[in-house]
């Protein structure tokens, strides 16, 4: 493991340990292996770097990091000849505010693509959708300003949070994608959430099979971004 990745691991562990915001206990537990091991060995040294900036879903809570959807998508695309280096910067319990705080250091790693999977914890805590949107907008705009392509993963919330709130929250993802001209998967957990065998007992985190289904949905959009990179980074 290079010094840079050791520093990244320390940064992410610190972010998980220092989160001061109150959160439901099932979201607060540090994910087993919050940082997926860098997979440089499975891609050429010059292959583009993809960073997944996310929460416990990206981190693969209660699962081996290699079973989380970023690693599964990495393997799926590698099998199709689309190679990239992977950093899974998913931290259990993270919010859009936490992702924004971690962004500068992640951009220093010179990623070609940032996969943004945040906002779900904000929504579960009932934060104002306009504030969540503003923070996600900052992340996308700052990444784009650094020359990084962004894949935004849309999140949906349980209807128990109220129809009006859920509608306002879910509308922010396609709006951001349209206004900022970034790629978007409208509901990235489709095929896992609410589907038999797709979610763990807590109803919030995917099973191994659920992560496979999520990867099948995310990988094509990520592959398109990677194949469009010119010249290769």
Residue 232 lies in a domain: no
Catalytic residue among 55, 56, 67, 122: 56
**Per-residue pLDDT tens digits for 47-91:** 999 999 999 999 999 999 999 999 999 999 999 999 999 999 999
Domain span including residue 165: 3-18+33-227
Pairing mode of beta strands 183-185, 149-153: parallel
Residue 24 lies in a domain: no
At 149, give phi and psi (nearest 5°): -80, 145
Count of domains in the chain?
1
Residue 27 lies in a domain: no
Peptide bond into 231 cis (omega under 30): yes
Residue 215 lies in a domain: yes
Identify whether 202 is a catalytic site residue: yes
Catalytic residue among 104, 178, 181, 202: 202
Residue 130 lies in a domain: yes
Q: Closest Cα to residue 28, out of 169, 124, 150?
A: 124
Residue 199 lies in a domain: yes
Residue 26 lies in a domain: no
- Is residue 34 predicted with pLDDT exceeding 60? no
Residue 233 lies in a domain: no
User: Hey, what long-range contacts does 184-188 have (CB within 8 A, 24 or more apart)?
Assistant: 184/151, 184/152, 184/153, 184/154, 184/221, 185/151, 185/152, 185/153, 185/154, 185/217, 185/218, 185/221, 186/154, 187/154, 187/155, 187/156, 188/117, 188/153, 188/154, 188/155, 188/214, 188/217, 188/218
Integer Cα distance of 147 and 100 in angstroms:
17
CATH code for position 222: 3.40.50.1110
**Per-residue pLDDT tens digits for 118-145:** 999 999 999 999 999 999 999 999 999 9
- Is residue 39 predicted with pLDDT exceeding 60? no
pLDDT of residue 193: 87
Catalytic residue among 62, 74, 205, 211: 205
């Amino acid at each position: 493991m290079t010094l840079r990745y050791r520093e990244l691991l320390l940064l992410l562990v610190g972010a998980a340990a220092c989160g001061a915001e109150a959160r439901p206990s099932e979201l607060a537990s540090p994910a087993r292996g919050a940082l997926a091991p860098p997979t440089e060995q499975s891609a050429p040294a010059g292959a583009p770097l993809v960073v997944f900036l996310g929460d416990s879903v990206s981190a693969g809570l209660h699962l081996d990091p290699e079973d989380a959807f970023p690693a599964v998508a990495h393997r799926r695309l590698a099998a199709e000849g689309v190679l990239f280096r992977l950093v899974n910067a998913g931290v259990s319990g993270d919010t859009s505010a936490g992702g924004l705080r971690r962004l500068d250091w992640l951009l220093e790693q010179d990623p070609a693509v940032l996969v943004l999977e945040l906002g779900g914890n904000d929504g579960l805590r009932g934060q104002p959708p306009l504030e969540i949107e503003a923070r996600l907008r900052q992340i996308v705009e700052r990444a784009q300003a650094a020359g990084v392509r962004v894949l935004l993963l849309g999140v949906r919330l349980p209807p128990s949070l109220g129809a009006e709130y859920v509608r306002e929250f879910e509308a922010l993802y396609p709006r951001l994608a349209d206004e900022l001209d970034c790629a978007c998967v409208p509901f990235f957990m489709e095929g896992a959430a609410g589907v038999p065998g797709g979610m763990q007992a807590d109803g919030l985190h995917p099973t191994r099979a659920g992560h496979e289904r999520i990867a099948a949905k995310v990988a094509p959009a990520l592959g398109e971004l990677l194949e469009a990179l010119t010249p290769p980074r």
